[in-house]
């Protein structure tokens, strides 16, 4: 019998869910390749450790950008590696795969994801929109007629959607998320402290002291980089208040997108959301005060989902349980939106 696999194909991380086993893999979506031989040297966490530390003939890069495939060949090989690692490499028992895509992707981008998963060893490949999977993974009953609002803040995209009767009513997908937070921190350090830091350091600062709303007690950490004036290595101490200032622009962009979706929401569903509140999922939900920031801007109750990073993968897994209901649908429309 074919293994049923749910994949959260994220810009920052790839999560793999196997039916009856739960999440079996959570690795960074980074691949290290030898430019001279086109040989893959490392995938996942091992490749992430190489970011910004490779010689000229080796490149460590993310094959997914803004939630979609930017390097088809490397994405296919990365998926193949993860599928073999979790499902084995049997030629006869290929897995049935459900892959999540951002709600704003084009038909061409959907086809690229589907083809990459098929070439990587999928027997049948289904696509599902991320906010719907996130809502299911967060434990919301998406089949009810009452409206639910989900904000999924990932690595490359933030997906905002209002869901009712098993489908997405209004949504927005913006290319402002975790990676944009990292870039804002890197630019801030360069501009204010004249310190050049790498991508990994920017991400570590975000995870350690990243703040979306003023903390009761300010926290600090040491940051190492290259002094842009002297060209020598330098260590400085930075505070959470500084990082909140650095990330103000992308945070405001996300809040404006939430406001835009609420403006386009039918009044009956808007009333439902006012009662039930907003749920935040994705890795960005782990940032301190993100729920308070959104609550302040919308005037609604906001909560963080349990285990927000895994919600999309868990949602794809739960959707696989309803796979028999998807069989009659056209291949291109298989997003898991019918229950």
- The verdict on residue 166 lying in a domain is yes
Which range is least confidently modeled, 73-87, 195-209, 315-329?
315-329
Q: Are residues 150 and 286 in the same domain?
A: yes
Q: Are residues 182 and 110 in the same domain?
A: no
Q: Are residues 45 and 123 in the same domain?
A: yes
Q: Are residues 263 and 146 in the same domain?
A: yes
Predicted local distance difference test score (pLDDT) of residue 324: 57
Predicted local distance difference test score (pLDDT) of residue 90: 66
* Residue 267 scores a pLDDT above 70: yes
Which range is least confidently modeled, 106-110, 205-209, 251-255?
106-110
Cα dist from 104 to 131, 188, 221, whole Å: 11, 29, 37
Q: How many structural domains comprise the chain?
A: 3
Yes or no: say if 295 and 274 are a contact pair by the CB < 8 Å rule: no
Q: Are residues 41 and 126 in the same domain?
A: yes
CATH number at residue 98: 3.30.420.40
Predicted local distance difference test score (pLDDT) of residue 91: 63
* Residue 335 scores a pLDDT above 50: no
Predicted local distance difference test score (pLDDT) of residue 268: 94
Half-sphere CA count of 99, side-chain side, radius 13 A: 29
Burial class from Cβ neighbours inside 10 Å (0-12, 13-18, 19+) for residue 115 reads: middle
Mean pLDDT within 148-170: 93
Q: Are residues 150 and 258 in the same domain?
A: yes
The helix or strand, by DSSP H or E, that contains position 173, with its residue range, turns out to be strand 167-174
Residue 234 domain boundaries: 178-248
Q: What pTM was computed for the model?
A: 0.87
Q: Are residues 19 and 103 in the same domain?
A: yes
Predicted local distance difference test score (pLDDT) of residue 278: 96
Q: Are residues 104 and 221 in the same domain?
A: no
CATH number at residue 188: 3.90.640.10
- The verdict on residue 339 lying in a domain is no
- The verdict on residue 338 lying in a domain is no
Q: Are residues 261 and 119 in the same domain?
A: no
pLDDT tens track for 281-320: 999 999 999 999 999 999 999 999 999 999 999 998 888 8
Phi, psi of 89 (to 5 degrees): -120, 35
Closest CA to 117 of 75, 61, 84, 85: 75
pLDDT tens track for 182-199: 999 999 999 999 999 998
- The verdict on residue 137 lying in a domain is no
More confident residue, 68 or 195: 195
Q: Are residues 198 and 216 in the same domain?
A: yes
Burial class from Cβ neighbours inside 10 Å (0-12, 13-18, 19+) for residue 233 reads: exposed
pLDDT tens track for 199-215: 889 999 999 999 999 99
Separation between Cα atoms, residue 35 and residue 278, nearest integer Å: 46
- The verdict on residue 279 lying in a domain is yes
Q: Are residues 20 and 84 in the same domain?
A: yes
Q: Are residues 155 and 301 in the same domain?
A: yes
- The verdict on residue 92 lying in a domain is yes
């Amino acid at each position: 019998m074919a293994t049923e696999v749910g994949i959260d194909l994220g810009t920052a991380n790839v999560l793999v869910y196997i039916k009856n086993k739960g999440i079996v893999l959570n690795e960074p979506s980074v691949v290290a390749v030898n430019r001279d031989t086109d040989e893959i040297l490392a995938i996942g966490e091992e490749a992430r450790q190489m970011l910004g530390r490779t010689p000229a003939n080796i490149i460590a890069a993310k094959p997914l950008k803004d939630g979609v495939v930017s390097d088809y060949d490397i994405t296919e090989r990365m998926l193949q590696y993860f599928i073999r690692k979790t499902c084995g490499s049997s030629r006869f028992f290929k897995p049935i795969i459900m892959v999540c895509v951002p709600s704003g992707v084009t038909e061409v981008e959907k086809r690229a994801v589907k083809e990459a998963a098929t070439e990587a060893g999928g027997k049948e490949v289904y696509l599902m929109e991320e906010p719907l999977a996130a809502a299911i993974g967060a434990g919301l009953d998406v089949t009810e007629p009452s409206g639910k609002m989900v904000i999924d803040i990932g690595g490359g995209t933030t997906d905002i959607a209002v869901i009712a009767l098993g489908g997405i009513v209004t949504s927005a997908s913006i290319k402002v998320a975790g990676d944009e937070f990292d870039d804002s921190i890197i630019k801030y350090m360069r501009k204010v402290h004249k310190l050049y830091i790498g991508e990994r350091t920017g991400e570590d600062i975000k995870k350690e002291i990243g703040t979306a709303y003023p903390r009761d007690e300010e926290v600090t950490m040491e940051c190492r980089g290259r002094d842009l004036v002297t060209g020598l290595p330098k260590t400085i101490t930075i505070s959470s208040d500084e990082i909140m200032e650095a990330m103000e622009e992308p945070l405001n962009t996300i809040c404006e997108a939430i406001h835009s979706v609420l403006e386009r929401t039918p009044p009956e569903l808007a009333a439902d959301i006012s009662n039930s509140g907003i749920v935040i999922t994705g890795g960005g939900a782990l940032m301190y005060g993100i729920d308070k920031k959104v609550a302040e801007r919308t005037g609604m109750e906001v909560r963080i989902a349990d285990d927000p990073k895994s919600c999309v993968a868990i949602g794809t897994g739960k959707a696989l349980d309803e796979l028999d209901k998807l069989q009659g649908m056209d291949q291109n429309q298989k997003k898991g939106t019918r229950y």
